[in-house]
Amino acid sequence: MIISVLCLIDMVLLMRPNPDVTAVLRTMICGGALYYVVKRFRQPNITMFLFLAVAVLYNPIFRIHMDQVWWLVSDVVTLALFYFLAKVTPIHETGIKHYAEDDEAGK
């Protein structure tokens, strides 16, 4: 979900670009996509390849230059991909503790 918020911020910054903030956001988006690719490397599927494409598109080293409209489209698609990933990933696979589980275990 955090990466989805970063995509939203990147879309807003397209209206008033700030190169430093945009570079940091795109680096974080690339890192999030690479994290998913590395995590799912042993079980490749179409989602892994989509996130690999996102990582290549947002990579900070070899930057891809596109028109502002295409960046907006790629931001929306990336936002949808990360949102979908956040919805279908079970909480126990994320490494985040759910507070309800702690309350039930304490009883």
Per-residue pLDDT at 92: 59
Residue 33 burial (10 A CB sphere; 0-12, 13-18, 19+): buried
pLDDT in tens, 66-94: 887 888 888 888 888 888 887 777 655 55
Contact at 8 Å (CB) between 31 and 61? Answer: no
pTM for this entry: 0.69
Question: Over the stretch 33-79, which tens digit does the pLDDT of each residue have?
Answer: 888 888 877 887 888 888 899 999 988 888 888 887 888 888 888 88
